Amino acid sequence: MGAKRHLALLPGLKADTVEWPVPFADGLPILRGYRGRPVVVLASGDPFWFGAGAVIARDLDACEWRALPGPSTFSLAAARLGWPLERTLCLGLHAAPLTRLRPHLAPGLRAIVLLRDGEAVPALAAYLRDEGFGDTRMTVMEALGGQLERITVLTAETPPGDAFAHPVAVALEVEGDGLCLPVASGIDDGFFDTDGQITKRPVRALALSALAPRPYETLWDIGGGSGTIAIEWLLSHPTTEAVSIELRADRADRIRANADRLAVDRLRVIEGQAPGALEGFAAPQAVFIGGGLSDALLTDLTERLPPGTRLVAHAVTLESEGLLAAWSERLGGSLLRIELSEAGALGARRGWKAAYPVVQWRVVL
């Protein structure tokens, strides 16, 4: 079994051949149907590095398969370029959106990306231009290691005139004046589309510091608004996960759009109201309450969540502030009052314009 281009490289076979269908998942039941017979599946390079290996292996018992990997496309590309792989970003974008690049884009980045087909090369160039990185040098590599290997160098500002053929990989040397995501929490509000319901950058930075994301942890973000807390939680580490609860459908759609633009595809957005919308989810390691704060919600969470769960809640109104004060008396933790002012026009001069104070309650259950 294999893709049409793989089978074409092996003419004159006496064995039966089966072309792997598109989409890829449709080939898995066909493969399972050959159980008990010797079967060879053809795949490019190292099938366990952005390849088909893990998908195929998880459906089979350990004694049923054996992998014989070859040099990966990334290894072949590095060998052509002279790049150290340990300092090069390697991404498989053949089955993922181009936005997967967005958190990494910064001048000086070197990356090797796999693309789905030749048409994705100009699409990648257009994406880089749109994000402000049109000066990026692109080395397009077709059929690496094969008889049809071809290497073309261009920039994102000068899209190619020639068509490219699959399989194709592109090495990027990123340059330009586009916006870069910082590596600390509290990214600029301009990265998010919002209707005004947003935890703004300075307060968000304090919230993320209090939530203290760690690898392999899950966050419940209750009252998602624009999704900023959950998205920054996911940006903190590639193994984190998050569930965002938002009552309004338009805001839930906005959260999804913000997550797509910043390439955090591990965010689950649930339209509904907590605590009811939380049913069926495994317990998280941290919870943020940015909206919908109530005595009933806090009661449910403290009864539902296991000891050790980190809970952070924000209050703006006097009523919700009083609620947090009462719960902090009951369970302990720390209360922080955040009062911020920004300089603004005051007649012909400037003065301080104060924002509504925010009270933060942080507790470990």
Domains 79-173 and 189-364 share a fold: no
Yes or no: say if 229 and 220 are a contact pair by the CB < 8 Å rule.
Answer: no
Which of 202, 264, 278 has the alpha carbon at shortest distance from 227?
A: 264
Q: What is the pLDDT of residues 81-123, one digit of tens each?
A: 999 999 999 999 988 999 999 999 999 999 999 999 999 999 9
Q: What's the whole-number average pLDDT of the chain?
A: 94
Q: What is the pLDDT of residues 231-267, one digit of tens each?
A: 999 999 999 999 999 999 999 999 999 999 999 989 9
pLDDT of residue 134: 96
Residue 14 has pLDDT above 90, yes or no: no
**CATH homologous superfamily for the domain 189-364:** Vaccinia Virus protein VP39 (3.40.50.150)
Q: What are phi and psi of 354, to 5 degrees?
A: -85, 140
CATH of domain 79-173: 3.30.950.10
What are the domain boundaries of the chain?
A: 4-64, 79-173, 189-364
pLDDT of residue 204: 96
How many Å apart are CA 158 and CA 90, to the nearest integer? 24
Yes or no: say if 110 and 87 are a contact pair by the CB < 8 Å rule.
Answer: yes
Residue 13 CA: distances (Å) to CA of 35, 100, 252:
21, 40, 54
Binned at pLDDT 50, 70 and 90, residue 12 comes out as confident
Rounded to two decimals, the pTM is 0.87
Q: What are phi and psi of 46, to 5 degrees?
A: -95, 110
